[in-house]
Amino acid sequence: MASILKVDTIQGATSASVVAMPAGHVIQTIQFTANEQNISGGGSGHTLINSTFNPKVSGSKFAVWAHVPNCTASSGGKIILKCNIGTNSSPNSNTEIIYVTERMEGTGASDTRGINGHDYGTFTCSSTGTHYASLVVSPDNNAVIARHSNIVKMLIQEIAQ
């Protein structure tokens, strides 16, 4: 026989506002996205994602995955992918959690390359206030990101400690 648990509120035994989660438990999952981008010129960072979220528990760590599909740029060139998390609205002022460099194969439709990165535990939040998650790409010349209407994704999981 199956059991069903129905509740309206979970309240801490000693504090109404605190319910401790077991270490390693996923507290929340958030996904940020960006659309296809044509980037003219290289060398500087192009922010594809700079979005806000609020951690549920102070002291949490984060598992982060970044996926930048179907990139093209001059053969032999490169694209750098950086992801940052922190409390500053400026991506470069926050903790860098992912840094990936990918060499490009050319500008044709069949030359696409995906750029992927992941991290766990580099950043620990110190509050439940507003935090910023950013994904920035820096090609060394003209580039197309998420070619053919693909979607750039940054997935964040808050993990209890």
Residue 107 is classified by DSSP as S
Residues paired with 37 in a beta bridge: 145
Residue 93 is classified by DSSP as G
Q: How many CB atoms lie within 10 A of CB 31?
A: 12
H-helix segments, the chain: none
pLDDT at residue 131 greater than cutoff 70: yes
What is this structure's pTM?
0.88
> Do 64 and 84 form a contact (C-beta atoms < 8 A)?
no
- Give the least confident one: 8-12, 43-47, 92-96, 157-161: 8-12
**Which residue, among 148, 146, 124, 135, has the nearest Cα to 65 in the 3D structure?**
135
pLDDT at residue 154 greater than cutoff 80: yes
CATH class entry, domain 35-159: mainly beta
pLDDT tens column, 74-118? 999 999 999 999 999 999 999 999 999 999 999 998 999 999 999
Encoded tokens for 159: 């993990």
Q: How many helices (H) and strands (E) does the chain have?
A: 0, 10
Tell me the domain boundaries of the chain: 35-159
pLDDT at residue 18 greater than cutoff 70: no
**Which residue, among 60, 50, 53, 55, has the nearest Cα to 25 in the 3D structure?**
60
> Do 161 and 23 form a contact (C-beta atoms < 8 A)?
yes
